[in-house]
Amino acid sequence: MRIVLCCAAGMSTSMLVNKMQSAAQGRGLTIDIKAVPVAEFERILPDADVVLLGPQVNFEAARLTAIAEPQGKAVAVIDMMDYGMMRGEQVLDTALALHAS
C-alpha cells in the first residue's frame, strides 16, 4: 500500500509521515508513506493508493478529489486535531479505512 500526504510545501507533513511509519511498523504492516507538496499531486497520483491532504490545503479537496476519483484513488483531508497533535496512529487508521472502502 502506498500513502501520500500532501501539504502546502511537504515539510510539516514529513514529521507526521515518520509517526505513521512507526505506527505501521508496530502493527507489522509494510506501507510506503511519503509527503509531497500539493503542487506534486497529479504527478504522484498514479503511484498512490490513498492521498491524504493536510488541513492547510483543505480548500483544494474538491478539485483534487475530482481528479483522483476517475482513477479509483481515494482522497481525504486529515483531521485538524490529528494533524496538529501528530497522531500517526489515527491518521494511519484513516488511510487504511479509505483504502478498504
- Exactly one of 4, 5, 6, 7 is catalytic; name it: 7
Question: At residue 13, what are phi and psi to the nearest 5 degrees?
Answer: -70, -20
Q: Is 7 a catalytic residue?
A: yes
Contact by Cβ (8 Å): 42, 73: no
- Pick from 80, 29, 33, 36: which is nearest to 58 by CA? 80
Give dist(CA 27, CA 15) in Å, integer: 19
**Active-site residue set:** 7
